[in-house]
Amino acid sequence: MEITKQNRKWLDNMGLDHPIVIAGPCSAETEEQVLKTAHLLKETDTNVFRAGIWKPRTRPGGFEGVGAVGLPWLQRVREETGMKITTEVGNANHVELALKADVDILWIGARTTVNPFAVQEIADALKGVDKPVLVKNPVNPDLPLWLGGVERFKANGIDQLGVIHRGFSAYNTGHYRNKPKWHIAIELKKEFPDLPLILDPSHICGRRDTILDVSQTALDLNFDGFMIETHIDPDNAWSDAAQQITPAQLDQITQDLKIRQKSSDKESFQSKLNLYRKELDLIDNNIIDILSDRMGVAENIGKLKHKENVAILQSGRWSDILKAMIETGQSKGLSKEFVEEVFKAIHVESINIQHKV
């Protein structure tokens, strides 16, 4: 399904001279909290005020949002600050209430995107509505599921679309709350190059001290902007306190971020870039040759195991190999996460080859 420049008109029509900034608290808690935060954000580069009205929680008993009573608070934000307003919708009833309040932009949360039935219900409820819809990635690293969420809205005639990259759940997330897995966002951009791509560093980081670094990475990858959770008193927030920042901290982050040029017309730059790219091409071809040789050895091992009736998976040896490769990789400046992901993929392919023998 084609995603055209028509789908980003909502962003282009804002006429911004910087990446879009969507900011506000994780949850709308009280009218006073919402309005105080909004008025402080008005003095920053914030373009759209966000607040969760309905909050899907992993387990019952947690704060699940104030509900529709908070929608007039968002309306007051728009009236008093001039900022557009946005909130998450998780079902058709949420859509109906948000539309009655004339919320400017709606977003679909990660727990909803993972459920095609729920996405379709929301898409049907929005059929014929001329409002931007932003689709967060599903909690699991499933690119087709993310693409499918966008396509369901597109198929229902919703012409103003965007996606939000908030990272992916994993058993071992390292220093992230949700692993960014940047390659998935890059693959989505390749599939839909005209679709606005917005970063949610709050959910990727899970803590406020790394938001700047992750946001800079997104800018370096040509993301179109950010959705950052911002609260007047983050430490006492009713939800996700550790990942929220103050409006003053947001202002500092936006000042510290460096917007890169997409390219350079300098002849010296283009010449050096072409040389480096040719060098990369040679190395990439060598990598393919080495991987092919390795899989050939794996096939021979599979034949030997089959002949001697030996199990394919040798867990102890695999653990030793992975540990050694991570240590070697780190000694050469490669991250543990990168080496682990590469060698896990190699190991899976080796097992598949041995299994087919």
| 245/306 same-domain check | no
In a domain, 261, yes or no: no
| 218/278 same-domain check | no
* pLDDT top residue among 5 and 20: 20
- Confidence at 224, pLDDT banded by 50, 70, 90: very high
**At residue 183, does pLDDT exceed 70?**
yes
**At residue 2, does pLDDT exceed 80?**
no
In a domain, 249, yes or no: yes
| 104/208 same-domain check | yes
| 120/94 same-domain check | yes
| 181/303 same-domain check | no
| 93/178 same-domain check | yes
CATH number of the domain at 170, please: 3.20.20.70
Are 136 and 200 a contacting pair, CB within 8 Å?
Answer: yes
* Predicted local distance difference test score (pLDDT) of residue 267: 84
Q: Tokens for 271, please give them.
A: 């010449």
How far apart are alpha carbons 124 and 151 in whole angstroms?
12
Q: Provide φ and ψ at 50, rounded to 5°.
A: -115, 150
Least confident among 52-66, 91-105, 134-148: 52-66
Examine the fold and report which residue of 256, 290, 315 is the final residue of a domain before the chain moves on. 256
The tens digit of pLDDT for each residue in 116-171 reads: 999 999 999 999 999 999 999 999 999 999 999 999 999 999 999 999 999 999 77
Q: What percent of the chain has pLDDT over 90?
A: 79
Q: Which residues contact 328 (CB under 8 A, 6 or more apart)?
A: 339
**At residue 173, does pLDDT exceed 70?**
no
| 221/78 same-domain check | yes
**At residue 7, does pLDDT exceed 90?**
no
| 203/341 same-domain check | no
Q: Give the three-state DSSP class for 295.
A: helix
Examine the fold and report which residue of 223, 256, 289 is the final residue of a domain before the chain moves on. 256
| 351/305 same-domain check | yes
In a domain, 120, yes or no: yes
How far apart are alpha carbons 37 and 244 in whole angstroms?
12
* Predicted local distance difference test score (pLDDT) of residue 226: 97
> Taking phi first (over 0 means left), then psi (-120 to 50 degrees means alpha), and beta for anything else, what does residue 240 get?
left
**At residue 349, does pLDDT exceed 90?**
yes
Examine the fold and report which residue of 229, 256, 283 is the final residue of a domain before the chain moves on. 256
Q: How many domains does the chain have?
A: 2
In a domain, 262, yes or no: no
Mean pLDDT (the chain, rounded): 93
| 201/229 same-domain check | yes
* Predicted local distance difference test score (pLDDT) of residue 44: 96
Q: Tokens for 346, please give them.
A: 């190699």
| 216/273 same-domain check | no
**Which structural domain range is residue 315 located in?**
267-356
| H-helix or E-strand spanning residue 124 | helix 116-125
Q: Which residues contact 318 (CB under 8 A, 6 or more apart)?
A: 347
In a domain, 323, yes or no: yes
CATH number of the domain at 292, please: 1.20.59.10
| 119/15 same-domain check | yes
Q: Tokens for 20, please give them.
A: 């879009």
